[in-house]
Chains A and B, each alone.
Chain A
Amino acid sequence: MIGVIQFPGSCDERDAVAAVERVGEGRLVWHEETDLSGLDGVVVPGGFSYGDYLRAGAIARFSPAMEAVARFAAEGGPVLGICNGFQVLCEAGLLPGALLPNEGLRFICRQVQLVAEDFTGPFGGSIESGQRLSIPVKHMSGRYFAPDEDLDQLESEGRIAFRYAPGENPNGSVRDIAGVINEAGNVIGLMPHPEHAVDPLTGSDDGLVLFRALAGAQQAATA
């Protein structure tokens, strides 16, 4: 069972549950829930948690559910953060870096091409290095940033998960970074929305690979 966290202000949680249900079972987890036992994986979805006041994701990290997610992640549970969920995971210190307002200051909503990097861990095993994915972005604050020395370290440790394909960087992210993973490899976050790319009817089903990876991570963890 995959849990999808629902904050006040989330807006992609139902799409995330629908995406999860293409590969397994999913349910919503209200932001006041602290018992994640019985969950095999967690999605922190997109939206505008707590209005995104102060900074995107800054307030959501203090919610009871996020404290439970931090414990879940520390125990090796697989966690996928999407868009606002990625911002929340960065603010919570579960992923490195921060997301700044887009370079062009505009809200961007369009399909982008991603390239998967060579990364390890439960997610990396399910996604081929160099694989191109067509997945939409829709965000105002998606400019990934981390200091140069941190980026060098992330690159040397194989912790960049996805980059925007050459010429596709929509927001000014440093080194075209679209998604990163944590040191243990069980927490991944990205700005593009794989849950909006799970059916050819809406342009692409390339996003399914991430939900299969999440389901696979759970199987690997219980095997």
Chain B
Amino acid sequence: MKAKVLIRPKEGILDPQGKAVERALPALGFEGVHDVRVGRLVELETDDPSKLDDLCEKLLANPLIEDFEVELEQ
């Protein structure tokens, strides 16, 4: 089964990468864009989707600093 795991910095944690992107946008003529946060998307195929949450907590995300969402593709 195919799955997508979306990992993002936890709310309240400074994301300097998002800030840098946000600051670059006006120079390119994109005004009015705020609160840019940069995360990570992991695509994978698994034989056992029931283990995905455990796998995310142990490796793909660090729960102290990141939130994750798992999306299964039917």
Task: Give A residues with C-beta under 8 Å from B.
Answer: 54-55, 58-59, 62, 91, 97-98, 100-105, 145-147, 172
Give the complex CA separation of A91 and B14 in angstroms: 19
Chain A residues contacting B60 (CB-CB under 8 Å) are 54
Q: Is B49 an interface residue (CB 8 A)?
A: no
15 pairs, A vs B, C-beta closer than 8 Å: A58-B59, A58-B62, A91-B62, A98-B65, A100-B13, A100-B14, A101-B16, A102-B16, A103-B14, A105-B20, A145-B65, A146-B64, A147-B64, A172-B14, A172-B16
Question: Complex: how many Å from CA A98 to CA B65?
Answer: 7
The number of chain B residues touching the other chain, given as a range, is 10 to 19
| Interface contacts beyond A58-B59, A58-B62, A97-B64: sample of 9 additional A-B pairs, CB < 8 Å, sorted by A | A54-B60, A59-B59, A91-B62, A98-B65, A101-B16, A104-B16, A145-B65, A146-B64, A172-B16
List, in ascending order, chain B residues with CB within 8 A of A145's CB.
13, 64-65
Q: Mark B10-51, 1 if CB is under 8 A from A, else 0.
A: 000110110010000000000000000000000000000000
Contacts of A146 in B (CB 8 A): 64
Partner of A98, one of B14, B59, B64: B64
Structural contact, A98 and B62, CB atoms closer than 8 A: yes
Tell me the complex Cα distance, A172–B19, Å: 14
Instruction: Check A100/B59 contact, CB under 8 A, given A105-B16, A105-B20.
Output: no
Contact between A54 and B16 (Cβ–Cβ < 8 Å)? no
What 0/1 pattern do residues 44 to 74 of B give for CB contact below 8 A with A? 0000000000000001101011000000000
Least Cβ–Cβ distance between A84 and chain B, in angstroms: 15
A105 surroundings in chain B (CB, below 8 A):
16-17, 20
**In whole angstroms, what is the CA distance A146 to B62 when docked?**
12
Complex Cα spacing A58 to B63, Å: 12
A162 to B38, CA, bound (A): 30
CB distance from A191 to the nearest CB of B (A): 16
CB distance from A74 to the nearest CB of B (A): 19
Contact with B16, one of A59, A97, A103, A147 (Cβ below 8 angstroms): A103
Interfacial chain A residues near B13, Cβ < 8 Å: 100, 145
Q: Which residue of B lies closest to A106 (CB)?
A: B16
Least CB separation from B61: chain A residue: A55
A101 touches B17 (CB 8 A): yes
B-side contacts of A102, CB under 8 Å = 16
